[in-house]
Amino acid sequence: MIRFIINGLLRDHHRSLFPIIIVSIGVWITVFMQAYLTGVLGDMVDTTARFSTGHVKIMSRAFAENKDQIPNDLALMGVEQIMADMQSEYPEMTWVKRISFGGLLDIPNSEGETRSQAPVMGLGIDLLSPGSTEIHTMNVAKSVVRGRMPEKPGEILISDLLAEKLDVNLGDAATLLSSTMYGSMTMHNFTVVGTIKFGIMAMDRGAIIVDVNDVQLALNMEDAAGGILGYLPNRIYDDNTAKEIVERFNLQYDDVDDEFAPVMGKLVELSSLGDYLNYAGSVTGIMVLIFVVIMSIVLWNAGLLGGLRRYGEVGIRLAIGEPKGHIYRSLIYESVFIGLVGSVIGTGLGLGCAYWLQVKGLDISAFMKSSNMMMPNIFRAAITEETYYIGFYPGLFSTVLGTMLSGVGIYKRQTAQLFKELEV
């Protein structure tokens, strides 16, 4: 029976070609959009974790309440001991200290007077310690455009756009004007040894990268940091694991009445990415539902048209005694075959487009010039396990639903009228 139905569909293109095209297009769009949303949001999560929050982050309570202002006067104290404790308790994770700061970068001329200056956003990370993971985590070495990595204290990297704006050459002196942890003004001299470009406009517009020990010295933050970042194994964020770690850590300090006591938060809370991730999940589900409804209506109409064309065929099958239920089921079997073929074709097309976008990417830097979000300038799709099967939901369900709706007419046929119909 199945072979008979398949042969009939293959030989009569009018019964299968149009529905397969409709299903293929719907599945194609569904698969591509799922990969696109997954890639964009995945890049946002990864970028935010690498440059800002980690998978979990330890701060002082006062700092956490005002974290958007980056208040280094409320920095976490005793970071070396806290890091040692966390590394002992969670040895599979990576723990690093970071300091974010703002200030004015002054470039002097040969006489020591100001030649150019600009506001900068600074980031203190571990650049000089042997075996430091920060260079790999933030992809610093591969982001160097000119010059080299810092090799000793007092050397910094600045963004390539900022270097062009300030007319800075490699080896030039640069003075950072900022405020210390205790609120006093500080000036610290550095040497520019390289320029960087991360491909993130918020960083590329005016960032400087400094060794964290130099920042501690410049800002009077000995054994203090803006935060301690923790990364789960393989740099893969898992919200449930992060939640368990956060709850366990914070439970230790529930009874401590001190605004400078440490508190831990997880990535989705610290960056407000939870709303984006929930939104993406909703969008994917809504997108699948929309295509199911639209394709079901289209295929329902196609089934009605096909039913009119096959009116005589169904009448003959009823006249020779074939049960209505059997005919109805055979039409559903046909729709399953059409849905499978269309889903396979559509999934293949969607995967092809997603793979191209995953490799080539979509450059949106022209629209990100004033953005402060930790978002890459190039959007890429990401093919996951779900990408391979998500298209079969709208592909199969809509085809079967459309056939079920259009096939109801079979049960309305009156056997007593069959021969009169066939005579006509």
pLDDT of res. 276:
65
Is there a contact between 340 and 332 (Cβ–Cβ < 8 Å)? Answer: no
Q: Is 130 left (phi over 0), alpha (psi -120 to 50) or beta?
A: beta
**Cα angle 363, 369, 373; round to 5:** 85
Sign of CA dihedral 230, 233, 235, 236: negative
- Tokens 């200056």 correspond to 117
pLDDT of residue 272: 66
Distances (CA, A) of 191 to 105, 148, 152, 247: 12, 12, 10, 43
> Which helix H or strand E contains 147, and what residues bound it?
strand 144-147
For residue 14, the model assigns a pLDDT of: 59
- The domain segmentation of the chain, as residue ranges, is 2-47+274-423, 56-231
> Which residues, given as ranges, of the chain have pLDDT below 70?
1-16, 272-281, 283-284, 287, 299-315, 365-375, 409-424
For tokens 């040894």, what's the residue?
Answer: 193
pLDDT score, position 79: 92
- In the prediction, which pLDDT does 93 show? 92
pLDDT value, residue 342: 85
Q: What is the three-class DSSP state of 191?
A: strand
Taking CA atoms, 166 is separated from 100, 114, 117, 157, 342, in Å, by: 22, 11, 7, 14, 57
β-strand pairing of 362-363 with 94-108: unpaired
CA-based nearest residue to 48, from 356, 272, 259, 286: 272
b/e string for 398-409 if b means 16 or more Cβ within 10 A? bbbbbbbbbbee
SS3 (DSSP) at 157: strand
pTM confidence score:
0.75
